[in-house]
Structure 1
């Protein structure tokens, strides 16, 4: 009988055979000598947390902990349940690899914790189990490193998150108790008491779990009160709580007087910022409210909802999560649907943004960090933690003293916040962070010595003594603190007061009914106007960028989360803002999160889709003295985060180098349309758009007096009598092709909000829908018609009439609007489509470049196809119409006509093969991916064509309409590179599709090798998997430099390798169709050409 493998053996085997040891796998017990300063700054607190939960190692993806490896010393299910519940409290990791003798099991940490052993056995079955080291490779292969890092694992429906991670669950649970308290009477102006009770409860539970508040502490408060003592000594609730759970506070909540005696004592022992004195609170809060809290802590507040408060261990739950919870409270309104432009910022996003500016080099200079709209303080908390991690590393892992921690908080952390409740939460969050870096015994000693937490919130005419830091100010950030008579404000919050400014300022502009928001915005706009800082569309992000600029010292850095409107709004003032801003700073990096906004921010209205969530971006810039500013050489790194299964399930910022662009700041300064073009396109698209726009625009042809939008629905005004003479065509009936049916029309309304010019409703005219259709055959279609029949329509339709009303010109324009060219053009240039609410403004339609073909044959061809599509009104096959076509035949007919129309319009615009491919790839792959993201065809594996795995250009199918898989890619790449070897040589190609135990590797490799022209390539005898291992080993041996743009161990994360030598070109990319199009082939060919030029130049210099 075989001896069972030990837990240690199983984990070690998994590290090696599942390839985690080649990735970012870090021991929780790693000493500082084993990791770099940068790694410790990014991962230090996660490693400390892992050590606390007795985990062995942590596997990171882009500094996000994804897998926890742990051991269990017994075979008992109860012990396994406890380990799972404890590690679940870490909140961020997705998987737990738990080893015990004879078993390595994988658990999903997005599943809820189990309250009992019965619950555990019923609901917490492992995803997979290996019972010996052989089964580690045979059963756990789908959890290999490449499957995790590439995100392939998360594409499997079995691994979709249940959204019950500790962070998501705790936020939902706290919302539940908050709502219960509000409904229980703590509403409107008493709502702050509900928040205070929840805040104190979390703080007390944190102090209990850390062993700071002990039995002795509570007994000292009870003293000779027999009732209170009896409460404390009552038996613990074993049924509803974990055995190790501290239950003193839960018991105390049964008695209001005891509860407030505890609050008062804590206020004395800590300070008033944490427990501010408010006599009205004690009067407003009743015992029933405390009983609600008590039930909540037991997890029994709502029989309809499964609450997990019993499972939360606040000595484990990340401190940043606790502060972010309150940010959610602050932004949520129960009675008013007012969007104040502020947003709860997930901790993963905060960590990502701060990592860009608070680097080890920056932290060495002891920067003063300001958040001018700090909300509940999540940016300041994480900034404080990064500083501490940096100092701890410099101190060789020695804990910082109480005085050192206070000095960091006093001298390096500052915040401004307009909401008084939020600023108290900031103080609360910073206190938790401060205490978290101290041992409980040291905190208890400080309490006994009377050393309280410092007062952080500024009080007018307050004290400036040792324990009053005054580094949090409750005020409008646009108040001019420089003019204040108070030295604290004028010295610490004036112009050029900060080395680094961070935060997530309010976005957009306030709604009409938000009077306070409007008043605050007017102060901001006035401040900007006085300093000649342009702001367009009353956009708060623009105003705050100027305020941040003012707060920054020369050469200071800023990292902000802002509305994408700063890049895409077309108002003249918005353009003026971009011009002045880009001429005042060095812009280092922009990450456009528009496509993934619903992953990081949730809509306040559960009935709204992600379209209701404002698109946002992160920006990193440096304030540079004007005399030193030069835009010529500054390259902006512009990322476009795309929605993948990995980002969706891990809920962290994970970017692909395939979505990275480098653009000169000077180009953005002179051409701000590049922001939109590079969102989904690249420099090739920018060049094509520039070429297309040389043609005359539609606005030069249209009649402005007889063009415009239809009427606006509403009841403000009576409609004119003439409107009743026109039948109205409802928007759902506004279709691209076929004739309009009589029974589609309805009566025009008797009331309107705004009437339109009557001339829009009669005569020959182009009608174009404002919104981009998502319900048509293809998502993302422009719906346009040419009509002469009289009827009315709403402002969802734009009417365009021409000066020269020749019918053939209308049909050429209609054909252009129907073509892939206009779809491509507007997707890459319109300010809304692909960003927020998909639509195209009338002025943007009028910017469409129009070419009328001079060649009579091309003109007639376009007109003929347009007329066929106009008249395409097929009756589908049915029993009543057996002679008609099936839906498949109808679709095939339309597809063929649309292909012919595209070709004809491409001929009109004289486009090259490469330009046609750019347009088709964007329409067929890019736009389809935008709409369908993780379910898109664009992210599916490349079809296995060519069916052979090696050959020459002549072996590839040349029919462009029937090419599949890699055939188009190979032809486009070789058409370019073979010219370099003519006439005697050419490139052969070889495709490597590695597999491991039948599971496809997420990467695909193509090797192009030089050889004599016409010579057949030598057959390869090795399997694809062995060749793959050889390629990785080859890349690892090469020196980093021109040959290897990316570390070979980073291949699965980067998703791209282009390696060039004298005889070989290796292209490795993710096995997703969007990366292997003809256009991508040309981009790869161009990039490798540049590499070979650089290689030759470097060899010449040697």
Structure 2
């Protein structure tokens, strides 16, 4: 088979040639083509979703042979694609073979010495396939075909394990650059530089390299400062010239980006560390050995939008407390693109470019940069020509792009990112250096002394306080990613929530105040999903307002993606594992309101990790009745996230009928419940002493098994001290140097319900066991920690505990709680005691007797075997439980 025939075999003949006429391309495809024309590839395969958004998935390059010259060209193409970040795979094929390259892997470091490209490219090659080998072609078609790419099958097939072993998305350009910046910062810290100064010097370098690589600075600018210099790296060889350049740019940027302090000092050696960082990152190759004029990072390719991610990740990794205090997580470009595809599309029919956009928590400006670029594109759609005029671009920016941000350093990054987006459109790009083309003042920050003039676009303010200057502007679109969290709340947030009766949750005032910023406009904001599902009264008050006093168009719930493995693309917010959603709404009802709300809850992350983007599958779309959504206490958001309308109707029937609950059952049958003890971990904790606890055997939550836990798993209560924090505290408290020398543990933070330890009991874990509720009968007295609940009664009443044991372990209980409670399946995989007590129960006397009898038999089998010794016995017991317990429960609720 020829190379072209193989490409047809694997379905990639649908790839778009870089010679394709622009009118035959989708708008999203045209944008990609403009970015990658210099990559020395021949075609691009796009994955297109049901909304018509295309995402580049594979680059293809045809070659005659794989000789040294060709391999050098492949290495160069690979470096460019790595800097582009959006595509995982480069397919290079001749008429005899195809080689699959991993574009998430760091490129070769080019040195002055001879490079054996055949050998060195092996580190970025996933596999090569020879066309004459039928078995190889079969594997190629199975793992790397169009169907495999579209379905993301490479992440799930057992045969593709070798591919997964080679791909690590944490080695992409943005991650490696941040890692390199953090590493350099640590070296500079050790040399005595202050962290805020390090932030400034690194950010200045980032800004200058973006300008230089995009042609916005030139040799003339550098040679004016020092004769013979041609680049920023040349300037870095001279401390005096470096600061002359910074001073020049402080003047050119009106103090909006560069701010020099009088006492700044940095050595030539320290400047060389920064230079090395931006040339080859963390690589250990000495500077002198690197190929002249070669650089790993290419800021003409690294997207401007990534500047926001790079800055915020770098800042938070070097100052982690700032992230905790602000509740802020960077917004990845894919999520920004997704939101703006909905609210600010740029297809050829979109010609309205006078759209006032506000991001009320703009951070380092990613939403604003992308919005500005889209308004430029709309201007070009209207006028049928490229927009390169400085004054028109400046006016478009200052008339329409607005942001509010509390953190002064972040707002400077936002200003520079917008300057860069403007400069990137100019022709020539260095036009901004001329006196008559001064970049606009954007930042408005009365406390910032370096500003020569207050701007009217980026406000360094507390969004939630009254800001008349901003609130007098009527915005057409409000977009953004406000901070969320319930700790370290600003006084303004706390007061706002109290005023409106909302939960003290950071994001709620932003969602509410957005309607004041855009009373007649549209709003699209990211928020934490528990706002939809939390059953607390103050959360219900917010939901009553948002779904009744506003018009919600759609909700996108991405909670299921929160635990995506980092190697498979990472979480939507990096190390933020909390569930996120997007709310599309407006204050006023449209003329033709819908009685349904569109609700998307993607069930998989697979597809979104082969492509760099959020590709929506319409099988994840549901239309929820608006009337139900308007009820503050509705459970529809959680139910529809995992199930369908049949599930909602079933839960409604279970929830609304006159059924008893476990709570009523326990009261009727004199079953009490309590929680386990807590250890001391902080000096401010007041110790509580208990000789009883010190003598009781202890059951660790990790060894609890469903239905029955054997006595031989019980330990001394001293074994409850496991974490480093608890170990350190108790060593200090008892004045010992080794925790194993502790003779007796008598001091606790809370004792728990001691009766739950000493009377006949079953225990129920707060966490889950293989995604199911885990309740277990314990024959002897024992204590347990606060991650376990104890249900106990008198010895005469033991059979009622047996019934409760089986009911908790039933499929019905797991299903009901999974579908209804706020955190299970959304944020923390745990169940509160009051949630266990809410489970419906409707057993008659005969059904109760059947379950008690069956439970007795189950416990007998487990005791005899001291748990099941093989899979056949286990399967047999599961069938017995299904027939004699689960089926009886279904019958009692009329579910059979």
> Aligning the two structures, in what range does the TM-score lie when normalised by the shorter sequence?
0.7 to 0.9
Q: Determine which of 828, 831, 846 is the counterpart of 1:840.
A: 831
Q: Give the superposition deviation at 1:410.
A: 0.5
1:276 maps to what in 2? 259
The 1:271/1:789 distance shift into structure 2, 3 A limit, reads same
Native 8 Å contact 1:269 1:450 kept in 2: no
Deviations 1:694-744 (A, max 9, x none): 221122233499433223222522225555564443323433233541671
Q: CA deviation at 1:541?
A: 1.8
Alignment of 1:588-607 (within 5 A): 588-599=553-564
Deviates more, 1:117-126 or 1:451-460: 117-126
Cα shift at 1:120 = 3.4
Once residues 256 and 299 of structure 2 are traced to their aligned partners in structure 1, the CA distance between those partners, rounded to angstroms, is: 21
Using the TM superposition, give the Cα deviation of residue 132 of structure 1 relative to its aligned residue in structure 2, in angstroms.
7.8
Counting only pairs closer than 5 Å after superposition, residues 1031-1046 of structure 1 correspond to structure 2 as none
Q: Is the 8 A contact 2:329 2:576 kept in 1?
A: no
Which residue in the other structure is 1:166 paired with?
A: 173
Aligned to 1:186, which of 188, 193, 197?
Answer: 193
Deviations 1:841-868 (A, max 9, x none): 11111101112234x3x44332222112
SS at match of 1:398: coil
Given candidates 833, 836, 841, the residue that maps to 1:850 is 841
Go from structure 1 to structure 2 and tell me whether the alpha carbon gap of 1:819 and 1:123 turns closer, same or farther (over 3 Å shift). Answer: farther
Q: Secondary structure at the match of 1:211?
A: coil
Deviation at 1:16, TM superposition (A): 4.9
Q: Where does residue 896 of structure 1 map in the other structure?
A: 879
Q: Which of these residues, 34, 37, 46, is aligned with residue 32 of structure 2?
A: 46
Are 1:645 and 2:606 counterparts? yes
Deviation at 1:900, TM superposition (A): 2.4
How far apart, in 2, do the equivalents of 1:803 and 1:888 lie?
35
State the shift of 1:325 in Å: 0.6
Q: Judging changes above 3 Å, is the alpha-carbon distance between structure 1 residues 658 and 300 closer, same or farther for their aligned structure 2 residues? A: closer
Tell me, yes or no, if structure 1 residue 121 matches structure 2 residue 122. no
Aligned pairs for 1:125-136 (under 5 A) are 125=122, 126-127=125-126
CA contact (8 A) 1:129 1:139 kept: no
SS in 2 for 1:115: coil
Q: What's the secondary structure of 1:279's corresponding residue?
A: coil
| Residue 381 of structure 2, aligned match among 364, 382, 393 | 393
Q: Report the counterpart of residue 669 of structure 1 in structure 2.
A: 630
The CA distance in 1 between the partners of 2:207 and 2:788, in whole Å, is 56
In structure 1, runs of 5+ residues without a counterpart are 224-228, 233-246, 483-489, 511-516, 774-778, 878-883, 914-1102
Deviations 1:745-790 (A, max 9, x none): 42485222223344433434443221112xxxxx112122355754
User: Is the 1:128–1:140 Cα contact (8 Å) retained in structure 2?
Assistant: no
Higher-RCO chain (CA-CA 8 Å, sequence separation at least 6): 2
Whole-angstrom CA distance in 2 between matches of 1:847 and 1:826:
9
| SS of 1:454 mapped into structure 2 | coil
Does residue 81 (structure 1) correspond to residue 48 (structure 2)? The answer is no
Provide the secondary structure at the position in 2 that maps to 1:509.
coil
Offset, 1:476:
0.9
**What's the offset of the Cα at 1:508?**
1.3
Match of 1:424 in 2: 412
Q: Report the equivalent of 1:871.
A: 860
Tell me the residue number matched to 2:272: 291
- Separation in structure 2 between the aligned mates of residue 763 and residue 293 of structure 1, nearest angstrom: 66
3-state DSSP of counterpart to 1:702: helix
The Cα shift of 1:598 comes to 4.5
Structure 2 partner of 1:261: 244
Query: Out of 513, 518, 533, which is 1:568 matched to?
Result: 533
Helix, strand or coil for the counterpart of 2:37? helix
Q: Any idea what SS the aligned residue of 1:562 has?
A: strand
> What's the offset of the Cα at 1:680?
1.2
* Closer/same/farther in 2, CA of residues 746 and 573 from structure 1, 3 Å limit: same
Is the 1:414–1:472 contact (alpha carbons within 8 Å) kept by the matching residues of 2? yes
**Contact 1:567–1:672 (Cα < 8 Å) also in 2:** no
Distance 1:363 1:27 in 2: 28
Residue 655 of structure 1: aligned partner: 616
Residue 870 of structure 1: how far off its partner (Å): 2.0
CA distance in 2, matches of 1:92, 1:46: 10
Q: Is the 8 A contact 2:12 2:146 kept in 1?
A: yes
What residue number does 2:23 align with? Answer: 33
Cα deviation code 1:109-129 (max 9, x no counterpart): 122212247363224244455
1:685 Cα deviation after fit: 1.2
Name the CA distance, whole Å, in 2 between partners of 1:14 and 1:602.
30
Per the alignment, residue 767 of structure 1 pairs with: 763
Paired residue for 1:550?
A: 516
* Residues 629 and 599 of structure 1: CA distance in aligned 2, closer, same or farther (over 3 Å): farther
The alignment yields a C-alpha RMSD, in angstroms, of 3.7
Contact 1:763–1:788 (CA<8 Å) still a contact in 2? no
- Aligned pair partner of 1:498 in 475, 487, 493: 475
Deviation at 1:72, TM superposition (A): 5.7
CA distance in 2, matches of 1:168, 1:642: 26
Pick closer, same or farther for the CA change 1:391–1:743 going to 2, 3 Å.
closer
How far apart in 2 are the matches of 1:908 and 1:347? 51
Contact 2:174/2:306 (<8 A) preserved: yes
Question: Offset of 1:378 from its aligned partner?
Answer: 1.0
- Is residue 66–residue 650 contact of structure 1 (8 Å, CA) maintained in 2? yes
1:591 shift after superposition: 2.1
Deviation string 1:4-54 (CA, Å, 9 cap, x unpaired) is 97xxxx56x6665543465xx54545555334xxx42x4443221022434
Structure-to-structure mapping, 1:111-510, within 5 angstroms: 111-116=105-110, 118=115, 120-125=117-122, 126-127=125-126, 140-142=140-142, 143-155=144-156, 156-160=160-164, 161-163=167-169, 164-187=171-194, 191-223=195-227, 229=228, 232=229, 248-280=231-263, 282-283=264-265, 285-299=266-280, 303=284, 310-334=295-319, 336=321, 339-340=324-325, 341-360=327-346, 364=352, 366-439=354-427, 442-460=428-446, 469-482=455-468, 490=469, 493-494=470-471, 497-510=474-487
Instruction: Give, in whole Å, the separation in 2 of the partners of 1:602 and 1:339.
Output: 24
Structure 1 residues 72, 177: CA separation in 2 closer, same or farther (over 3 Å shift)?
Answer: farther
Structure 1 residues 101, 850: CA separation in 2 closer, same or farther (over 3 Å shift)?
closer
In structure 1, what is the equivalent of residue 728 of structure 2? Answer: none
Cα deviation digits, residues 359-404 of structure 1 (max 9, x gap): 3587626221111111111111111122222222333342342122
Q: CA deviation at 1:301?
A: 5.3
Cα distance in structure 2, aligned partners of 1:304 and 1:828? 55
Alignment check: 8 A CA contact 1:72 1:80 kept:
no
Counterpart-to-counterpart distance in 2, 1:505 and 1:278 = 31
Shift in Å at residue 425 of structure 1? 0.8
* Distance (Å, rounded) in 1 between the aligned partners of 2:334 and 2:627: 32
| Aligned counterpart, 1:240 | none
Give ranges in structure 2 of 5+ residues lacking alignment.
719-744
CA distance in 2, matches of 1:411, 1:601: 40
Deviations along 1:428-469, one digit per CA (max 9) or x if unpaired, are 111121112223xx2334423442222211143999x99964
Alpha-carbon distance change, 733 to 98 in structure 1, aligned in 2, over 3 angstroms:
closer
Distance 1:789 1:100, change over 3 A: closer
Contact 1:727/1:791 (<8 A) preserved: yes
Task: Determine helix, strand or coil for the equivalent of 1:470.
Answer: coil
Residue 858 of structure 2 corresponds to residue 861 of structure 1: no
CA 1:333 to 1:172, structure 2 compared with 1: closer, same or farther past 3 Å?
A: closer
Distance across 2 between alignment mates of 1:611 and 1:446? 38
Aligned residues of 2:56 and 2:86 also touching (Cα < 8 A): yes
Deviation at 1:477, TM superposition (A): 0.7
- SS of equivalent residue, structure 1 residue 708: strand
CA distance in 2 between partners of 1:170 and 1:907 (Å): 56
- CA distance 1:734–1:481, shift in 2 (3 Å): same
Aligned partners of 1:133 and 1:728: how far apart in 2? 65
